[in-house]
């Protein structure tokens, strides 16, 4: 089966599951609207789909959310079957993905480093001479 088809089905699954999460149609209390579908990998024969879930909240929230989504996988799959126009709806397997949390942590570290450099510059630790674009001192 062509690779573009599995990618297209994966994007559609990602969009539909994300909409179910945000709209609150999954009634499991462990699934909160701060969960995000980061990527979906579909097998070539469309029998399985690995759905990677991420959040910027603490890891315990992510683990509980993935458990809630896995327990609601039957409901989600039946919803996908009614919305998607394909012969075979993939079985869903949910996985934790910490990429959003890691990115959020990196941004916080960069901001704290920028703030530290800014306080050092205000304290007079940088040289007072300025240079032009060509490297000459003015």
The predicted-structure confidence for 20-58, as pLDDT tens digits, reads as follows 999 999 999 999 998 999 999 999 999 999 999 998 787
Helices 73-83, 3-23: axis angle to 10 degrees equals: 120
pTM: 0.73
137, pLDDT greater than 60: no
How many CA atoms lie within 13 Å of 112's alpha carbon, on the beta-carbon side? 6
CB under 8 A, 24+ apart: contacts of 59-67: 59/98, 59/101, 61/32, 61/34, 62/35, 62/96, 62/98, 62/101, 63/96, 64/30, 65/30, 65/31, 65/32, 65/35, 66/94, 66/95, 66/96, 67/30
Q: How far is CA 125 from CA 40, 115, 128, 132, 135, in A?
A: 49, 14, 9, 20, 20
Q: Report whether 7 contacts 36 (CB < 8 A).
A: no
103, pLDDT greater than 90: no
Task: Give per-residue pLDDT as tens, 69-87.
Answer: 999 999 999 999 999 888 8
Q: Write down all domains in the chain, each with its CATH number in brackets.
A: 3-120 (3.30.300.20)
Dist CA 55 CA 104 (whole Å): 10
The enclosing H or E element of 114 equals helix 99-122
Dihedral angle of Cα 51, 52, 54, 59, to the nearest 10 degrees? 110
């Amino acid at each position: 089966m062509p690779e573009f088809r599995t990618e297209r089905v994966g994007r559609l699954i990602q969009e539909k599951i994300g909409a179910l999460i945000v709209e609150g149609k999954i009634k499991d209390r462990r699934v909160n609207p701060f969960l995000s579908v980061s990527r979906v990998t579909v097998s070539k024969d469309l029998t399985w789909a690995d759905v990677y879930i991420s959040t910027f909240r603490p890891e315990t929230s992510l683990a509980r959310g993935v458990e809630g989504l896995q327990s609601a996988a039957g409901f989600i799959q039946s919803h996908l079957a009614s919305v998607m126009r394909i012969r075979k709806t993939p079985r869903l397997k949910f996985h934790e993905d910490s990429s959003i949390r890691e990115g959020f942590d990196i941004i916080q570290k960069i901001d704290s480093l920028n703030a530290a450099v800014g306080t050092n510059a205000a304290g007079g630790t940088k040289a007072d001479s300025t240079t032009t674009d060509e490297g000459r001192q003015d």
